[in-house]
Structure formats: C-alpha cells, structure tokens
Structure 1
Amino acid sequence: MKLVTTSVKRPVGVVMIVLAILALGFVSLRNLAVDLFPEIELPIAVVATSYQDAAPEDVENLISRPIEGAVSTIEGIDSIQSRSQTGASVVIMMFKNGTDLDQALLDVREKVDQVKGFLPNEAEEPNILRFSPDALPVMWVSLTGSEPERLTEIAENQVVPYFERQEGIASVTVEGGKEREIQVILESTDLKQYGISANEVAQAISATNNSASVGTVEKGNQDLQLRVIGEIESIDDIKETIIQTPAGATISVEDVAEVVDTYKESDSLTLVNGEPSLVLSIMKNTDANTVEVATNIRDSIPGIEAELGESVAVDVIIDTSEFIQLSIDSVTSNIIIGGLIAIGILLLFLKSIRATIVIGVSIPIALISTFALMYFTGQTLNVLTLGGLALGVGMMVDSSIVILENIYSYRRRGASLYEAATKGASELTPALIASTTTTIVVFLPIVFVEGFASDLFTPLALTVSFALVASLVVAITLVPMLSSQLLSKVVDKDGKTYWFERFLNWLRDKYANGLRRTLKFRKTTVLITFLILCGSFALIPMIGAELIPASDQGQARISVETESGSSLEYVEGIVEQINEKLIAYEKDIEVSFLSIGGDGVGPGGGSSNNATYTIQLVPLDERDISTNDFVKNIEEDLRDIAGAEITVSMMESGMNFGDPISIEINGPEHEVLRDLADEVAEEISTVDGVLNPTSGAAQGIPQLTIRIDEGHAAMYGLTEQQITGQIQPHFNGQLATRYRERRQEIDVMLYYPEDERSTIHDLMELNIQTPTGASIPLNEVAEFIEIQGPVALMRQNQQPQMNVTSQIIDRDLGSIVEDVEARLAQMNLPEGYNYTVAGQAEEMEEAFIDLGLALIFSIFLVYAVMAIQFESFLYPFIIMFAIPTSAIGVLLGLFATDIALSVPAIIGITMLAGVVVNNSILLVDYTNLLRERGMERMEAIVEAGKNRLRPILMTTFTTVLALIPLSLGIGEGAELQQPLAVTVIFGLSTSSIFTLFLVPVIYLLLDNLSKKIKVK
C-alpha cells in the first residue's frame, strides 16, 4: 500500500511526526482529569421543602401530594418518588434518558410555582435542583481540641471561609456544631398578670427589629431617600423592647420573660476516634476534579493549622480521592507489568532485541496517542478507561506483531530490507484493517445502550477503540520504517537454530499432522465441538450473576437503632459496648467517625435514637483482612449486644447503585403497607445470603395524637386552627425575629419554661385562651391518643409505598434474587397491593437485557464488516464460527475463578466477538491468497495453518499474558476489571485453539457445499 511505501521511504518524516504526537500526548496526559468513574449525567430533578416540626402525615398531605400532582403532567417523566418526614418533603422526578434536564427543570419550576400559593404559610420556599452523583462530599475533616461552642465559632468564622476560598470547593457544611440562639423564656404567671399572649410578645420583638424605606423628600435640587432604622443591636435591646398591654400600660420584654444568649438544644453528638469533634463535609464544584480538589484541601490544611494554633487539630477523616488514586496507581502498574510481559513474549518468539525494540516502541507511542485522543474527546483517566488501556496493551501489539512477523519471514528468505518491509507490511495490511475494524465495531451498539451501563462503559469502548486505531496506524507506518532500518541481522550466519525456534518448528509439524487428521474427520470434529459447547452451558446455573463487582474500598458502616424515643444517654450506653468490641480491630482501623443522633457520613437521615459509625480501614496492603471479612466478623461480635438493632455493611464511594435487594411494596394504605413490609422482611430473612433485611416500617417514633372536639371548641368560640396556633408555640417554641451580629443571623426564639412543656400532663393542662379572654385547659376540648408514628412516608407515582431493603453476603446477587422472588411468590398480598424487586437486582436485569441486545447487534456488525472486506457472504460466515467457541472459555473461566457474570464480564464477552475473529481472518485470508497463487485447496489450508501458527500464538500470548495482572484482582479497584480480563483470557485462549482446528474444517465443509450449489 502507498502509506506503507511512503513511511519506509521517508523515515525522517515519520520520526518527526511521531515526536510531535508524543509531545501532544504528554501535554494531554498532564491535563487529563483523574476520577474513579466517568462522569454520569442523571436526568433527575428534586424539589425539597421544609415545614418545621410538622408530622410526616401533614407533610405528605399538605406539601408532597400537591407538588406530585403538579409535576406529574410534565413531559418526559419516567417516575415520581416522594419522601415525607418530620419537617421536610423531598419529591424526586426521574426523567427518561435523553431528556433535556435544563428544560425539564424550567418546567418543574413553572409547575411548582402554580401550587406554591396553596402550600402552608409556615412551609419554606421549595428548592428545585438537579441531582448529581457529584453532589456528595469529597472529603470529611474533623476539628478537635476545644469546647464544642468554641469549635463551632472557629469553624464558622475561620475554617469554613478558609476552605471555601480554595480552588474547586463549592461549599463546606459543619456537622456536630453548636448553633447560637437567643432564647426568650416566657413567664406564664407574668403573661397572665398583664393579660398578654406569647404571640403579642413575638410581634413586639419582630416590630422592633425592622428597617424600611418610607419614601423620599426634596432638599434643594436633590431627593433624599427616607429610611427608618429599627434594628436590634444588642441583647439589651431585646430585653427593653416595649409591649403595650390591653389595659394601655407599657411594659418591656424583661418584665414577662428572661432573655438568654445560649445555644440550641442538641440531641446529637459526633466523635472522631473517641474524641468529641466537629466534622466538616466539603463539597466540590460540579466541574471540578475530585483528586485535584482533595489535593488542594490537603495542601491548605497546614495553613489553617498555623492560623488556629496548637489548641485545635485539623485532621482528614475520609478522603474519597485516596481510593481513586490507589485504584489509578494499581491499574497503571498492571498496564506496565502487562506491557513488560508482552515484550518478554516477543523476545522469546523473535530472539532479536532489535525486532523486539520495533514492537516495544510501538506500545508507548500507541498509548500516548490514545491519551491525546481521550483528551480531545473529553474523557477522564478513571478505573474504566485505564482498564481499557490495560486490556488494549496486549491487543495493541497484535497488528505490529503480524506485520513484523511477515517482514521477518521475508528477511529470513533473503529479501532486502526495503523489499521485506514494503512487501511484508502491504501484504497483510488489508487483513489487519479488517481485523481492527471488527474489534472496534463491536463497541458501536454500546453507545445506544441506555442507563448506567452505557454511561460507564462508553468511555471504555472509546478508549479501547482509540488504542486500536493508534496501534493500527503505528503497525502500518512506524513498524515497516523501523524494520527497514533495524532488521539487518536476521539470518543466523553460523546456521545454528534457536531452541525456541526448534520448539516452534516441532509444534508446527505436530499441528500440521493434527490438522490433516482433523480435516479427515470433519463431522466428528464438529460434533465434539458442539458437545463441548453444550457442556459448558450447563455451568451457567453454577456461575451466578451480579451487577458490578464490589470494590474493597476499606470503608465500613455500623448502624445502631434503639427503640424509638430513646434518650441520648441510652444510645451512648449501647455505643460504649460497641467500642469495647472494636478494640480487637484497632490495628485494622485507621479512623472511626461516630455520629450519635446525626446523619453520619453520606446520605440518610438521623434521629436521636440512632448512631452511625463510619470506619476507614488502613490501606489494603497493610491489613490481612478484606473489608467483607471485617464486616462479617464485626457482625458476629455485635450480635450479643441487647437493646438495639445493629447492622454492619460495606460502604462504596463513587458510583452508588443502591441496595443489592430493594423490594418496593405499593398499595392504597400506609398502615397496611407497614404490616406487609414486616412480613416480607421476616420472609426473606430465611434466604441464604440475605444480610440484615430492613423494613421501612421497623422505623417508627412514638406519637401523641391530639384530636380536637370541634363541638366543644365551638361552645367556647374556638376553632381548630386557633387551638393549634396556641399549642404549637408552647411546645415547639416560636421564632420572633433574627438578630444580626458580625454578619451572622441568630434566631430569637420564644420558649415556655422547660417544666411547663415536658410532660403529657403539661400538655393536657395547657391553658387555651378563648376570644372572651377566659382560659380553659386543653383537655376540655381535645382527646389524646398515643400511637407509633412513621419516621417517613414514601410514595411512588402518587401511590403509597413501603420499602424492604437488604444487603447480601457469601452468594451472588442473581441466585439470591431468584430465591427471594420464589419466597415472595408464595405470599398472598391483599387485593390492590403489589411488589416490585428493585435496587441493584432491577438495574442488573435491565443492564443484562440491554447489553445482550448490544452483543447480538455487535456480532451482526462484525459479520457485515468482514463481508465488505472479503466481498463474500461465505468466508465471513466461516470466520464467525470462532465466536461461539469463545463461550466455552468464558464459562469455564468464570466457573474456575468463582467470578459471577456481571456487566464488566458481558463487556468482555462483547469485546471477544470482535477479537476472536482476528485469528480466523488471518487464517482464511492467507488460505485464499495461497489458493490464488495456484496451491491445491487442502494443501493451502494446511500451509496457511502452519504459516499463521506463529503470529496467532504470538498475538494470543501477548494479549492473554498482558491481562494476567488484571485477572488476579490484586490492588485497589482491580475487582472492577477482573471479570473483563478473565473473560478475555479464557475466551481468547479456547477460541484460538478451536480456530486452529475447527475453522479449517468449517472452511472445507462450506467450500464443498458452495461448489455443489454452484454445480446445481
């Protein structure tokens, strides 16, 4: 081909082009962002609203349902979920893939604005935002060494502003801090004496703290803006606020209340490694890179420590970038090891350092070129794209090996350097273009797969494609040029034969004899292959299935839930018992973050009866126990602690695919759903592999329902709203105004004394003022019912829902889901109630179906490309017989290594569809070439096999052995690439063996059939 000839004739030009590409590649590599997973844009919008201290039932009826009804008509919505909990409503809208989320958010805002006026006055303005996986903290930092109040002040005034100034940081949130509050403690006796209510006190304080513009006046030729200033400037101003009594007297706030500058009551506590601490969760900007932001934070810590002095310690608790960096380093080392193995194989086959250098140089050039292509297409360096490069290292040299081996054979037959380089490369370039194209086209359907599978693996597909295109260009330009300059000493002048060459000659002769016998017993060969293939399919039930292999990220969570309403002191007692158990694991624990009554690290709500441990283990190479084993051991040790429900689970940062098993139960009534959820949790708990099944109904809070007797209330001239308005401030407190001090806003809250609002008796005897000025106890117009209320009420597509979730252990997800569904099928649900198995199980099913369809389409594209290349329907059909034989190796490999079928494994199978045909292409193409030169058909088949045996072995060994480091699953993050590497190793190995024997047999059978058809 002209490109080959030009590259050989112009070596200086080729070298300069290569140097330019290398320079561009190195610049691109320095600017490539580093992350754990590719960026994923999820079409999800969220409407969040606060309704302070309202019960879940009220939040659902007054906020969640109106918003659900408003947004349900928006085009493109796939499903709507809502969560109504005490004081807050969250409505989540999931849109169909491909929806323009920017336009969808505008539509959501418009619909919410239409119902905003119907929401309670006490509800805050709904917040509308898009959901992003990046909307999780990249790092948690602790502050220790001083009193909580002092730490809070330091955090808010010094540390938070300091971190927020660092590049890439969006916001910093303080957990476990003390929030300052001005409390106005009302004296009931004094209020009654002066005949004023709490509302009148609140109105007086609010009116005092009010500045406003009241117009303009003229002064000469100027207009002066008139502004009345009435802001509270000190605590004394609050005390001296004037209140007018109904009798016309003037009193101040301090006459009827005590004003205290203090902190809000807290029912939570945060401890880091046993010490009270504040925890700062640091969020990055959406377009910022996790590793860069984390590096900026770590680099900035010494600066803030110097500013704070020795009294306050600033420590990193959890850094999500650590696992990312370790994973990238692990994959990078696997790439290097794989490349060295590939070069070692080449040296073994070629016994020529110069020839090995030719191939060895092509690997880094192809890699660097790939980095440039990744940069300009907006890809990132992550475990998937680097895994694609590790996978491609062995494949990168395939084209170069085939070209070099052919050039090598021409040189050994006495051809000149120029002739060997041009003829050897040109002869096989068409076949290499076909084989590379077949490998690349298998990825095209992945682009059309929807959901996370496409988002995750499209970058991998692009990276491998870039690598293969770069390696092809290198093979047909750089390799012939270098060969024409370096392969001057190929023929051994002393006539001695290299030992490995003798082995290959012996193997070639044995193969030729075996091939002749195979061609003689064609039907037997096909039958044996078919039986082996059927036998391998019998392994499928024993392999199992999962969505994505779990990564050992060294993070574990212990969740403690005591009886609803438990005091903070009681929870602390349970925690002390857990701490004693954890002492035995001190050498494996790097950081332990305990949040009592708080949120802990990561998503999820907290309440006063809960505690959460977030445990960061030491790096994988410094401990003898995996995170999974750590979780199992801790689970065993904590079982004997009574008084709380304790669950232990692994944590994974980065991509969160939800609970392995999530059973969504839907129906018209929340109460019935709670009972059904308990039954489902109990039923699936007996399934082997199900770990800690949890029902949403198991969480509950004691609730005292106040039912107003409207008839009795009317007798006193009272309405339900008037009574509620007097109960709420008495027990919840009432916000009077906000006091500004040093650019901070501090709530001024009205409270009744603690001893007047702490018992049920206080509630029953609460004095309710009537319109006539008289007072009656609340129990005169209300009855009280004590129930167990829900923590949160869930709805799916405007219907009540209850979820049962579970972790899994010691079994694959597919097998467990099968058993769980069998148990659920035996349950008789009431009419109108149904269940859906969601979570990772649902994602797995959808991903497998999508990728299965993509695999079928990929196989068709491979055939189409070969049909175009060969200008024949017959020869591509012969070559395609290599694909089903790879299934034998895939299933044997997964079974032998005890690895479940997963999304990465299916991606590996899809890649095999394009890779395994390459050897067959070389075989069939060379057979046709020999027949065109006049060789008899049978001899052409045998000769082609003998001639192509060497390059087939070389390409197979370099690809397979280069993947060995990945297949071992050693190092952080390696679990994700392991199934992919195992499928390619075993699939390609078995396919290569069958290609050498089965494909020639199929060639002969179909060629005979073709001749018979032509004769007829």
Structure 2
Amino acid sequence: MAVTSAVYPEAELRNRAEQVREDLLALPTVTRVSPFATRDREISIEVSEEALRTHGLTIGEVANAVRQASVNLSSGELHTEIGGLVLRTRARRSRGEDFADIVLLSREDGTLLSLADVAEVRDEFADVDVAADIDGRPAVLLRVNRNEGQRPLDVANEVKEFLAGYRAPTGVDVFVWDDNTRNLTGRINVLLASGFMGFALVFVFLALVFDFRVATWVAVGVPTSFLGACLLFPAFGVTISLGSISALILVIGIVVDDAIVVGESIANEHERGGRGAAAAIAGARAVLPPVVVGVATTVLAFAPLLFTTGGIGQQMQVLPVVVGLVLAFSLAEAFFILPSHLSNAAPWSRWPLAELQDRVRRRIEEWRDGIVVPAISAAVRRPFVTLLASALFVAGAGLIVATDTVRYVFLQGLPTDRLQAGVTFPPGTPAHVTEGALERIVRGAREANALAGDDPVRTVAVVVGQQGFSPNPYARDRYVQEATSTGSHLGMVTVHLREEAQRALSPAEFLGLWRAHVGDIPGADSVRFLADELSGEPGVAFAFVHPSDDVLAEAVAEVRVALETDPAVRAVVDSLGLGKRQYDIELTDAGKAAGMTPAFLARQLRARFFGEEVQRVQRGRNEIKVSVRYPRERRHGLRDLRDERIVRPDGVEIPLSTVARVVETRDPSVRTRIDGVPAAEVSAHVDLERSTPARTEARLVRDVFPAVLARHPDLRVVEIGQAREEAQVVATLMYTVPLVLLAIYVLIAVLFRSYGQPFIILAGMPFAFAGAIAGHWLLGYDLLMGSIFGILAVGGVVINDTLVLMDRYNRIRAESDVPAVAAISAAARQRFRAIVLTTATTAVGMLPLLLVKSEVTQNLVPLVVSLVFGLIAASAAILFFVPAVLLVAENARDRRLRWR
C-alpha cells in the first residue's frame, strides 16, 4: 500500500501512514503491516566538541546523565497496616522536548547546567538516505504480509474492502499500488476458465461417442473427484494456489481415463447381451486389476516430486499430493458409483444426438477395422521393421535435445505487470548521484510509454536508498537477499503496467523499449531490469573457493570478462566490489604507553560519530532509539580526523595522531565463506531470447574454467543460484526415479504374475518423452521443468492404457488357442476405442490452455505440449510398438520352450 501527499511534510505524512497502519492492524485478518522505504524515527541528542570542552564534559558523561535521569524504576513494596504500597520512580521521557531539562552539572553557586544548555535535541528521522515517491508524489509504503496458515486472497480482499470505505484527509491519497495477489488472482481465474472450458470439451467429446447416460456419468466423475480432493486439501497442507490449480488442470483429462475404461467395459457387456447390475458389475470387475494398478502407477510417476528440495522443489511437492487425491477419488467413483448409474442399459440419447452418435461410432469402427487393425497386423507381422522405426523416432527426439535444437531451460519467469529496474553504485556514493540515475531510468520509462502509443504504464514508483520490494518465491541466494539492503548507492524504479487487455505490448517487449531508452549509466556497478517473478535470481552463478584473495580476484576477473563479452549476458555482478572508503585506526606504541587499548579508543570515536545509545522508548508500535553524539554538521564534514581530541585515561586531551595511526583503506563490500574458506561469487542474467543459462555455463566450463584451474589446482568451483537448484532437483530425481520404476515394475509383475511383461509395458514410456520433444520442436517452445511434469503425467497414462491392453491380451490367450498375432490384433481392436478416448479426452481437456494466448498461461503451455504430443506418440506406441515387442517376446519364449 502507499500513502502519498504532495502537500504534507515527511513527519506529517508518516503520522498519517501510522494511522493507516493502526487501522489496518485492527482488521481481523491483518496481523503484519510494516513500513518500507521510510526512515525510522529517532531522538538524537547532539552536542558539539566545543561545548563539551567548555564545560569539561565527555559524551559518555552526557549519555550517563541522560540515562540516569530518564528512568522508570521500581523500588520495592512498603507493607503497611492498610496494605502494600508499591514504591516507584517514574521519570522516563519519550519525546525530544522532555529531555531538555535534564541536569548535567550542579555548580557550587547553585546554578544548574541542563542538557538544553549544551546540546540540541532532535526528535525526527534517522540520518539515512531513504525515500520513496509514486508518480512524483512523496510516499510512505506499507507492506501487508500474511502469517503462515493465512490465505493471501483473504487478507488482500479485506484490505481492499477497508480502502473502499476509507476517507483519507484532504491532500492525502491511500491506495494499493503493488498487489502480489493480483497476478495470482488473474492466473487462477484464467486457469479456472480454461479448466471449465476443458471440462466442457471433454463432455462434448464423450457425448459424441457414448450414450448420453454414459457420457454424463463419466463426466460427472471429474467435478466429483475434484470436490473430494479439495475437501481433503487442508488435511494434507494444500491450499488453493497457483500450484494446486495447475495440478488440477493437469489431471482434467487424466481423471476420466479410468471412468472411460470402466464405462467402455460396461458398455461392451451390454452389447454382449448383459443386463442390469450383473452386467455393470461384470464390466467393472473385468478391468478392476489393470485400472487400479494403472492409477497406482500414475501416482507413483509423480512421487519423485515429493522429495525435491530447494525453492523450486517446495513448489513441486504439491503436484503429487493433488494428483494422488484426485485420482484416488476418481478410482473410487469409477468402481463404486459409476457402475450403479450404468447398470440400466436404457439409452438417454434422443434424435438428433442419437443419430449423430451412431455416425461417430460407425466412423470410429470403420477407421478401426479398415485402417488401424490392418496396420497393427502389418506392424506385428514385421516386428523388427516396427522396432527399428520406433527406435529411430526415439533416437531422433534424443538427438534434438542433445544438439540443443530444442533448448532446455530449468526455470522460466512468470510474466507479471510489475517491471523493475535496480541500480547499484559503489558503496559510499552520494544519494544525489543515485537520484540522478533514477531520474534517468524514470525518464526512459516515460519515453517508452509514449512510444508504445496506448499508454501502458499505470504507475511509476521510485525508491532511493533501498532495493527489493518484489518477492521471489524461489530465491535462496545472496543476490536476492541483497535486495533488502540499504544505502545511498542503491535505488529501484518499479513500473506497473495496465492489465493485459488494455495494452498491446507484453511486459518483456515494454522492458526492451525501457532498457533501450535508459542505455548505460556511467559509474554504476550494475543496472538490472526485471520483467518477471523469477528474474531476481541470476541464471548463471558460480562461487570460487580459495584462501588467497588474489587467486579469487583473478578467477572472478576472467569469468567477468568472459561473461561481459557474451552478447546474451547482462547484469554481471560479483562479490568482490569494494565497500565504502574507511579509516583504519591502529594504536601506536605511544598510545599503548599512555594506557589506552583499542576498545578504549574505539568507544570514544563511536560515541562521537555513530552515537552512544542511551535507551529505547516505545511510541505507539515503534521503538525509538535515543542516542548522544556529535552534531550532524560535524559528522558530515571533512575535518581531518587526525586532529580529533582523545581523552586519555588520566583525563588529559591529546590529538588522535599522537596515539594512533589513521590509514585510508577499502575492503570488499561483501565477504563470503564456504565451509569456512574465503569465497568469491560471480553471477549474470541471461537473455533467453538469445541463449540459455545452460549454454552459458557450458561455455564457461569448456573455455574458461580449465585455464583457471590449471594455474590454481586447489581452486574450487561451486555452482550456486539456479544451477544449484537444478542440481538439487536432478540429484533427487536420479535416485527417486529408479526406485519409482522398480515399484511400478513390482506392481505390474504381481498383477500379471510375470517377470517379462512389465518390461514390455514400460517399453512404451520413452515414446512419451519423444512425442513431447517433437511437440516442442514443431511449435517452437523451450523444454522447461513444466515439460518434465507433462512427460511424467503421460508416462502414467501410457502405463494405464498398456495395462488394459495387456490384460485383454492375456485373457484372450487364456480363453482360446488363437495365435499370438491374432490375439494381439483382437486385444488392440477391443481396447482401441478406450485407448483413443483416453488420449483424445486428455488432449481436448488441455486444448484451451494451448489455444488461449495469455501471459497468465504462458508458463503452462510447455506442460500442455508435453501432455498432448506425448500422448499422441505414446498412443501410437501402445497400438503398434507394444504389440511388436510383445510378439518378439512371445516368439522368443516359444523358441526357448522348443529348445527345452
């Protein structure tokens, strides 16, 4: 929130903001409101060196007098006949004017020397360079946060309701200027709309194939499963968030798969003459084992995400929980509720729907019997040709990834209408220099806004002396933590764009215009433009570990040169930048001979320049620090420190230069250690339009690191940032995926009582990967972590469909003596419609997300591409590749039996 005014001074504006803060904290759901980009209040008692010398005082003596005079102290209890009486001294002061009459000295003539006689008491703001304005008006920013367990939307809605009825004083504006729930709400709304559209399309598709009774009850399983899962969300620690909504969207098409298989099986029983509950029970029982195992394997396919660590890992962990809950309810609905509704074979469909359904079913059967089954038979009769073609397809997909034709990007930012530009100068840079740079950045934003034509900029906020009011949910490294630091060398400009429908340019396009109009800023260590919710963390980041500062500086310098010469890299930052100029003060032998110690000397200098804290007083919700120190002019001046008068232990004043050496130095602004050893970090952002973090890292590892490590073999290179997050996720998957595959193998082996058939079923999974890669290549998308989630989901569907096919094949072989080729063709023919329907409903359910061109759904498109194209390729593999593998296995088994 922001409290702005063009007429009130800083103190009055802060008072207004404090009142707004109190009103907000009075709301039932609001528990945390903190000011941001504002100066803290303090009481500064400023006494000059001349006044101290005139009256024979020291800052320590003044501080002690204030400390003794401003106190509340209990002196015990007096027990009398009428009861106990508490003895208490109440002299604590809380405002600047209250300190003026404190007595410092009582002279022999009876006169008193008060604090007001030697010092100026300032009750104002801390002497730091921090300020904020919004659209040119001074502002106090209030950050409203939620506590753990609170829902962000509940807090945001109550704040907005409060503002709707709030009447600000004349000349003051109070409004929400940065709402983190706005993007979340927009995404959830779009995802829900896409989900409803997907559900409607799935229902329409089912109604074209099944009788309206079957289509209705199969489709009803979707909201039933979702509702049941949502009711259990609190028990599993799941909230309605972007992650859980995305997981629900992910399973829209998958959740009807088991219902389709059960409904198809019951329909087949009815076609064979079965009636009533007996037919429904027989149909459900026929597919019970493979469907249950299929759902279990789908849930297991997502299980590795439960064990992922790091920032992104925490976001992944919700997916398997949501998928497991939804599929569990879907399974229960398919076997305990659906058969009851389908026990009556009387059709619901009437003309013209019934006629349309008959036409669709005839077309599917004609296509199945005239094209697909003959093709399956041909593929089975020439199994090695089929296997070779399949292997070439999978190998081609692998080659596409290996050659970087389809790029792999671990994380891609989530588009947002909040754009930021942060500028960092060397520590110690005066505030006016930073303000000049920020004015240039704001001017660039205004010029970009004018060039865009449709006035896309909603507000422009400027913060001097502080960075970082855009939280990054995945950040774990220093680069984002530094955004909370303060100093006159730091500044940030935040531009909020209008809603997507009200502008023509995307956030990334506007940011490109903005950056071009700002250009280079002379003297700045870094200028970073952020266009999404993840770009606060650099794509490339390494730490070098070595005890020698010279070796670290050399390594960082070489890496910086390599990064800065890469046109795809921007905002190169390292941790070896020098801090503020500083004076190192060391005692000389003369100082030691005078009885001084480093602590004795440091305390005197600290009291004069930093200030000696006397006490802290509570004023409202704020804690006010009371300090005694030199006047502001003395602390801001350039007077030679060497002439500063130091009081020896015997009370004699001498110049500082007679007892200490003063040397001007500059140390690194940040000191980093890894495992107790000095380290230096270097990072950069990568323009994804030109390259990827993986490519940049690979170039460094190939071209730069070998030469550096050859000169310094004991230098250690450590990945940090996104690379470390990725390494953590990959390391987790490396040991969890094999365990999951083993668990899936055991389930299938127990179901079919075979050690070999599980391998045949699992053989179709690479086609999910190959199809997903082909889809990304055809549509021009990068391979993201979301793409991997889609492949996992497809893997579960593939196993599910293959289980049903294999179960039917085993039944045919057990019930008759038909050859393997005929049994395979018959099984494929009988399960063709179920396989095609599960693929089609999943693809149709995802279609709205693929077709809706929205910034909100941009990060979900790769997931949808993986699902749709992975399912298409995997379905083809189930119908052609798996039968060919099965025939080869059967022939091998027959030969082995003959040899015996």
Give TM-score, length-normalised by structure 2: 0.89
Q: Name the counterpart of 2:800.
A: 918
Q: Name the counterpart of 2:135.
A: 273
Which piece of structure 1 moves more, 216-225 or 475-484?
Answer: 216-225
Deviations 1:334-364 (A, max 9, x none): 21121122122222323x4344223232322
CA contact (8 A) 1:544 1:813 kept: no
CA contact (8 A) 1:239 1:259 kept: yes
User: Aligned to 2:46, which of 171, 185, 193?
Assistant: 185
Does the alignment pair 1:315 with 2:175? yes
Does the alignment pair 1:683 with 2:545? no
2: CA distance, partners of 1:402 / 1:748? 75
Q: 1:207 to 1:669 in 2, by over 3 A?
A: farther
Task: For residue 1006 of structure 1, give the secondary structure of its aligned residue in structure 2.
Answer: helix
Task: For residue 493 of structure 2, give the secondary structure of its aligned residue in structure 1.
Answer: strand
The Cα shift of 1:745 comes to: 5.6
Kindly provide the amino acid, as one letter, of the partner of residue 389 in structure 2: I
Q: Name the counterpart of 1:283.
A: 145
Does the alignment pair 1:868 with 2:750? yes
1: CA distance, partners of 2:109 / 2:701? 74
Where does 1:497-576 land on structure 2 (aligned, <5 Å)?
498-508=358-368, 509-541=370-402, 542=404, 543-576=406-439
Q: Name the counterpart of 2:522.
A: 642
CA contact (8 A) 1:213 1:226 kept: yes
Does the alignment pair 1:329 with 2:186? no
2: CA distance, partners of 1:261 / 1:216? 36
Q: 1:975 to 1:857 in 2, by over 3 A?
A: farther
2: CA distance, partners of 1:426 / 1:739? 75
Which piece of structure 1 moves more, 759-768 or 177-186?
Answer: 177-186
The Cα shift of 1:956 comes to: 1.0
The Cα shift of 1:990 comes to: 0.7
Q: 1:743 to 1:571 in 2, by over 3 A?
A: closer
Task: Give me the identity figure in percent.
Answer: 23
User: Aligned to 1:589, which of 440, 446, 457?
Assistant: 457
1: CA distance, partners of 2:305 / 2:127? 54
Q: 1:649 to 1:573 in 2, by over 3 A?
A: closer
Does the alignment pair 1:697 with 2:576? yes
Which piece of structure 1 moves more, 288-297 or 515-524?
Answer: 515-524
CA contact (8 A) 1:342 1:962 kept: yes
Q: 1:781 to 1:393 in 2, by over 3 A?
A: same
Q: 1:451 to 1:969 in 2, by over 3 A?
A: farther
Taking only aligned residues, the RMSD between alpha carbons, in angstroms, comes to 3.1
CA contact (8 A) 1:384 1:977 kept: no
Which piece of structure 1 moves more, 224-233 or 996-1005?
Answer: 224-233
User: Aligned to 1:956, which of 839, 854, 860?
Assistant: 839
CA contact (8 A) 2:416 2:507 kept: yes
Give TM-score, length-normalised by structure 1: 0.80
Does the alignment pair 1:796 with 2:696? no
Where does 1:478-877 land on structure 2 (aligned, <5 Å)?
478-485=337-344, 487-488=346-347, 498-508=358-368, 509-541=370-402, 542=404, 543-586=406-449, 587-602=455-470, 603-650=483-530, 658-670=537-549, 673-674=552-553, 676-698=555-577, 700-709=579-588, 711-714=589-592, 716-738=594-616, 746-810=624-688, 811-822=691-702, 823-828=704-709, 830=712, 832-877=714-759
CA contact (8 A) 1:660 1:840 kept: yes
2: CA distance, partners of 1:302 / 1:622? 23
Q: 1:651 to 1:605 in 2, by over 3 A?
A: farther
The Cα shift of 1:505 comes to: 3.0
2: CA distance, partners of 1:769 / 1:928? 99
Where does 1:255-270 land on structure 2 (aligned, <5 Å)?
255-270=117-132
2: CA distance, partners of 1:986 / 1:552? 25
Kindly provide the amino acid, as one letter, of the partner of residue 511 in structure 2: V
Q: Name the counterpart of 2:478.
A: none
Q: Name the counterpart of 1:58.
A: none
Q: Name the counterpart of 1:212.
A: 73
Q: 1:665 to 1:950 in 2, by over 3 A?
A: same
**Structure 2: tracts of 5 or more residues without a match:** 450-454, 471-482
The Cα shift of 1:593 comes to: 2.0
CA contact (8 A) 1:908 1:981 kept: yes
Deviations 1:726-767 (A, max 9, x none): 322232233344567778664443343445444443422222
CA contact (8 A) 1:142 1:316 kept: no
Task: For residue 594 of structure 1, give the secondary structure of its aligned residue in structure 2.
Answer: strand
Q: 1:210 to 1:940 in 2, by over 3 A?
A: closer
Q: 1:604 to 1:671 in 2, by over 3 A?
A: farther
Kindly provide the amino acid, as one letter, of the partner of residue 469 in structure 2: V
Does the alignment pair 1:984 with 2:863? no
Where does 1:888-903 land on structure 2 (aligned, <5 Å)?
888-903=770-785
Q: 1:164 to 1:529 in 2, by over 3 A?
A: same
Kindly provide the amino acid, as one letter, of the partner of residue 912 in structure 1: V
1: CA distance, partners of 2:549 / 2:81? 71
2: CA distance, partners of 1:362 / 1:151? 57
The Cα shift of 1:596 comes to: 0.6
Does the alignment pair 1:201 with 2:62? yes
The Cα shift of 1:1007 comes to: 1.5
CA contact (8 A) 1:148 1:177 kept: no
2: CA distance, partners of 1:738 / 1:463? 50
Q: 1:526 to 1:245 in 2, by over 3 A?
A: same
CA contact (8 A) 2:508 2:531 kept: no
Task: For residue 442 of structure 1, give the secondary structure of its aligned residue in structure 2.
Answer: helix
1: CA distance, partners of 2:265 / 2:44? 88
Q: Name the counterpart of 1:301.
A: 163
Q: 1:852 to 1:676 in 2, by over 3 A?
A: closer
Q: 1:348 to 1:290 in 2, by over 3 A?
A: same
User: Aligned to 1:466, which of 303, 325, 332?
Assistant: 325
Q: 1:511 to 1:371 in 2, by over 3 A?
A: same
The Cα shift of 1:897 comes to: 3.4
Deviations 1:249-293 (A, max 9, x none): 753333333444444333122111221111111222122111111
Kindly provide the amino acid, as one letter, of the partner of residue 706 in structure 1: I
CA contact (8 A) 2:462 2:491 kept: yes
Q: 1:251 to 1:451 in 2, by over 3 A?
A: closer
Q: Name the counterpart of 2:476.
A: none
Q: Name the counterpart of 1:242.
A: 103
The Cα shift of 1:188 comes to: 3.4
The Cα shift of 1:320 comes to: 1.0
The Cα shift of 1:816 comes to: 2.2
CA contact (8 A) 2:95 2:123 kept: no
Q: 1:873 to 1:207 in 2, by over 3 A?
A: same
The Cα shift of 1:636 comes to: 2.5
1: CA distance, partners of 2:786 / 2:149? 27
Number of equivalences:
871
Q: 1:391 to 1:243 in 2, by over 3 A?
A: closer
Q: Name the counterpart of 2:479.
A: none
Q: Name the counterpart of 1:87.
A: none
Deviations 1:359-390 (A, max 9, x none): 23232222222222334433212222222222
Q: 1:319 to 1:670 in 2, by over 3 A?
A: farther
Deviations 1:168-190 (A, max 9, x none): 33322223445444443324334
Q: 1:535 to 1:262 in 2, by over 3 A?
A: closer
Which piece of structure 1 moves more, 826-835 or 728-737?
Answer: 826-835
Q: Name the counterpart of 2:477.
A: none
